[in-house]
Amino acid sequence: MRAVLYAKDMEPITVINLPPTVAHYLERYGRVRVPVALPALPWVAGTSPTYEPLMRTVDIFAERLVRQGRETLMLFTRDEENALLLKCAFLPGQQAGLQESEREHYVKGFAAALNLACGG
């Protein structure tokens, strides 16, 4: 289920894709905590390693909105910075443009690699 995640002041943060189990849990309990995996930072020799946690969480709260007889869940969070690290989902109208952009970048990268391999 794709859903817009809002900040507590109703500012949209991102669009996320909730697995059915998480969506069901939100409908039933109204709150869920989801993990945000952070990329591992490379450690450079000669520097002291940092011990920042590799996992953060985002608390998502659901509120029911009834409009014209239809009920919808609105999702909110107070963890705005961590919510920006969630993997975003694209809306159906954005998919075609995204796929075209990915194809274009793939072709450019392939052409550059081929040019290097051929001594160019």
pLDDT digit string, tens, across residues 18-46: 888 888 999 999 999 988 877 666 665 66
Residue 97 DSSP SS3: helix
| Domain match, 73 and 18 both | yes
pLDDT score for 75: 94
| Domain match, 64 and 78 both | yes
Is residue 84 within 8 Å of residue 15, measured between CB atoms? no
Is residue 22 within 8 Å of residue 94, measured between CB atoms? no
Which domain, by its residues, includes 99?
92-120
pTM of the model: 0.63
* Residue 63: burial class (beta carbons within 10 Å; 0-12, 13-18, 19+): exposed
| Domain match, 116 and 85 both | no
51-55, 73-77, 92-96, 108-112: range with highest mean pLDDT? 73-77
| Domain match, 79 and 32 both | yes
Q: How many separate domains does the chain show?
A: 2
| Domain match, 39 and 50 both | yes
| Domain match, 76 and 96 both | no
74 pLDDT above the threshold of 70: yes
pLDDT score for 11: 94
